[in-house]
Amino acid sequence: MESGRSTKFETERLEWPIVEPNGDEETGNYICLRTGDDHDFWIPVPFAAQSSSVTSIVNGPTPGDDDKTAYEFRFICSNVMRWICNYMGYKFIYTGKESVPTFEVDPNIALPLLHAATFFDC
């Protein structure tokens, strides 16, 4: 699985790391979302499951590769995908909680983020 750059990041709002798996034993616990500008975002499977679109893509037919963990979203750039990944983690952590902090969005990215969030259904 060759790509341009792999993104490892931590959100300041949430205290969970998004990391690239270190070995084959960890790969099944993560999903890689690859952007149009060749960034890879590795997120835990339960976070990815917050998006019904990602769940459908992962569970859908993948010809010749049952162990696929990387999925390409060429129409989304990395600065938008970072927000989508953060929101999936936020949704996983705070769904069903009584006290939920506000998920604040940078107004400069609001429109492309809205389009991506609509696609990801999250």
User: Which domains does the chain show, CATH number per domain?
Assistant: 5-120 (3.30.710.10)
pLDDT digits (tens, 9 = 90+) for 63-120: 555 567 789 999 999 999 999 999 999 999 999 999 999 988 889 999 999 999 999 9
The enclosing H or E element of 10 equals strand 9-10
Pick 31 or 11 by higher pLDDT: 31
Identify the CA nearest to 88 among candidates 30, 37, 39, 38: 30
Residue 9 to residue 92: CA distance in whole angstroms = 17
Residue 103 carries which side chain, given as an amino acid letter? F
Supply the pTM of this predicted model. 0.75
